[in-house]
A and B are shown apart, each in its own frame.
Chain A
């Protein structure tokens, strides 16, 4: 199995010169800066403060970091992938790829790998910053490994969406806009839907008392649902207060603990990760089909 030529070309051209090195440095500096601001604002560096270091703060910092990276993933990956095929088309190089012996599926995969490589580069570059938080305690290696795996799967899904819309729309701008709208719907749609469903059922006799599997059925497509697994709130008895997500998170953890059978193992990130894998495979399949010139009718 040889390395995908599209990935190879991209790495060669993008890593040439100082541009990407500078970009990574900026990114890590930004993360460090955010952390510093948070610590500074919390009186930690004040010598006259009687308050000692609170491990709760490390956890909050961790929450800030992973949220920031999660948001970045949703902004950066579509920006790379939603133009991946349509820009080849605009540059008139798409036909040149399609006449080669490389099948359409491999072209699509190459484009996805390019965006994942870039995201992973940023994620790995930020590991030392997350390590600082790790140093202050509270978060284990296994948690970070799980987090990286979940981000990888999410990036895979987001990238597949971008490439898919890039394949079916001829123009860059249409592909970008559709990708963001689609991702917005997948991310927030289930929550809105669930909320409406809950409100309607609250008025019925007996009220609305969802169990864990109801949450899974309603929210599984949303990456934010999976992300809840990593948002530290209830572990160790500390309440997380950043972004006000902790209550939902704690409730979900409690509901999960009350589940029985296989549902007990259906952590939000596992359920959503599975959804990401399956939908990515489908999206790649349909993208290849749409790209295949002999089947394409225009």
Chain B
């Protein structure tokens, strides 16, 4: 069994009249990239700030590497790299000075700083901006600089709050590459995002949060499998197109059918065996099926289903 790097126990945070995080129990194992997904105001940032030791929970506790964050915050901070959803830069510092400052704040000795800063700048592809002032950097560069800052003390666990927000597609790909590189370096990463598609590509596990509650968690596969979710199905027939549509519409799990030139698009709600049933029915009715393609169920639809059901959209 792998080491659990982060564990939250009934984590609850209540602001005056909003319950931002509600009895959240979460476990992140060593080496995982844990995707933290939720709509605006779901409580992602609040949870991450509590884990980083920046906010006291109303009740419940967080353990990083088995250490209680509220008991020994300074000890825990050595293991955590935190990148918030804003930049936080000083306008009168150069890129290398910026990193050197945080190296100093992390208690790294002076003689190690220069090589450390150079290697980090290389990692985030900012070596050419070493002597530029921080406020002259583009948004994407600032974001990468902030990532470098969160890595300065070589933490084993990274908390990244929407590291890809506001980036163009190219910068997103770059950010993704850097994250993959970090994962191969053995870092455990907690990353939040709205862009589910991207998360499903790089994450090993996923947790879906809605109104402060963790409504689903597990590996990407598990999460999407566990749900009876709506999916799409593409069927190609050589003839008898109209008859096929009629047959399909009689099946209760099918919510919609549209057809054109031998291609039939079907909306289905159900599990894997539902698809098998549909195929069997078609064949039994003598429809000449050429191809039968369930579309890979996207995380997106799981997400939509999980978050729209409960309390609905509150903003």
A contact set with B: CB distance below 8 Å:
2, 5-6, 8-9, 12-13, 16, 91-93, 95-103, 292-297
Q: Which of B84-92, B213-221, B230-238 contacts A (4 or more CB under 8 A)?
A: B84-92
Decide yes or no whether B69 CB sits under 8 A from chain A: yes
Our pick among A12, A91, A101, A294 for the contact of B56 (Cβ within 8 Å) is A294
Which among B54, B80, B84, B101 is the interface contact of A293 at CB below 8 angstroms?
B54
- Verify if B176 is at the interface (C-beta below 8 Å from A): no
Q: List 28 A-B contacts (CB under 8 A).
A: A2-B107, A2-B110, A5-B105, A6-B105, A8-B101, A12-B97, A13-B90, A92-B84, A92-B86, A92-B87, A92-B88, A93-B89, A95-B49, A95-B84, A96-B82, A98-B53, A99-B77, A101-B74, A101-B77, A101-B78, A101-B153, A102-B107, A293-B53, A293-B55, A294-B73, A295-B56, A296-B55, A296-B56
B104 beta carbon closer than 8 Å to chain A: yes
8 extra A-B contacts, CB within 8 A, seeds A9-B101, A100-B153: A5-B105, A93-B88, A93-B90, A96-B82, A100-B102, A292-B73, A294-B73, A295-B56
Instruction: Kindly provide the distance from the CB of B88 to the nearest chain A CB, expressed in whole angstroms.
Output: 4
Query: Do B90 and A95 have beta carbons less than 8 Å apart?
Result: no
B: residues with CB less than 8 A from A are 49, 52-56, 69-70, 73-74, 77-78, 80, 82, 84, 86-90, 92-93, 97, 101-102, 104-107, 109-110, 149, 153
Contact of A5 among B56, B69, B92, B101 (CB under 8 A): B101
Task: Report the separation of the CA atoms of residues A13 and B52 in the bound assembly, to the nearest whole angstrom.
Answer: 29
CA distance A12 to B104 in the complex (A): 13
Is the beta-carbon distance between B69 and A101 smaller than 8 angstroms? no
Chain B residue nearest to A9 (CB atoms) is B101
What's the least CB distance linking B300 to chain A, in Å? Answer: 31
CA distance A9 to B106 in the complex (A): 14
B81 to chain A, nearest CB (A): 8
Contact between chains at A5 and B104 (CB < 8 Å): yes
Beta-carbon nearest neighbor of A17 in chain B = B92
Q: Is the CB of A98 within 8 A of B54?
A: yes
A292–B77 Cα gap in the complex (Å)? 13
Smallest beta-carbon distance B242→chain A, Å: 62
**CA distance in complex: A35, B82 (Å):** 55
Write out the residue numbers on chain A whose beta carbons fall within 8 Å of the beta carbon of B55. 293, 296
State the CA gap A289–B82 with chains docked (Å).
22
Are A96 and B104 touching (Cβ within 8 A)?
no
- Minimum CB–CB distance for B15 against chain A, Å: 9
Question: Are A100 and B105 CB-contacts (below 8 A) given A12-B97, A13-B92?
Answer: yes
Measured CB to CB, the closest approach of chain A to B17, in angstroms, equals 14
Q: Which one of B102, B104, B105, B106 has the highest number of Cβ atoms from chain A below 10 Å of its Cβ?
A: B105
Chain A residues lying within 8 Å of B104, measured Cβ to Cβ, are 2, 5, 8-9
Distance of A16 Cα from B53 Cα, bound (Å): 35
C-alpha gap A294/B64 in the complex (Å): 15
Given A95-B54, A293-B55, verify A101-B90 contact (CB < 8 Å): no
Query: A100 contacts which chain B residues (CB < 8 A)?
Result: 77, 102, 105-106, 153
A294–B69 touching, CB < 8 Å: yes
- Cβ–Cβ contact B106 & A101, under 8 A: yes
Q: How long is the Cα–Cα vector from A190 to B169 in the complex, in angstroms? A: 65
How far is A97 from B49 in the complex, measured between Cα atoms in Å? 13
B98 nearest in chain A by CB position: A9
Q: Which residue of B lies closest to A7 (CB)?
A: B104
- Docked CA distance A98–B49 (Å): 11
Smallest CB separation, B100 vs chain A (Å): 8
CB-CB under 8 A from B49, the residues of chain A are 95
Contact, CB under 8 Å: B84 / A96: yes
Q: Which residue on chain B has the smallest CB distance to residue A100?
A: B105
Contacting residues, chain B, for A91 (C-beta < 8 A): 88-90
Q: Is the pair B149, A96 in contact by a Cβ cutoff of 8 Å?
A: yes
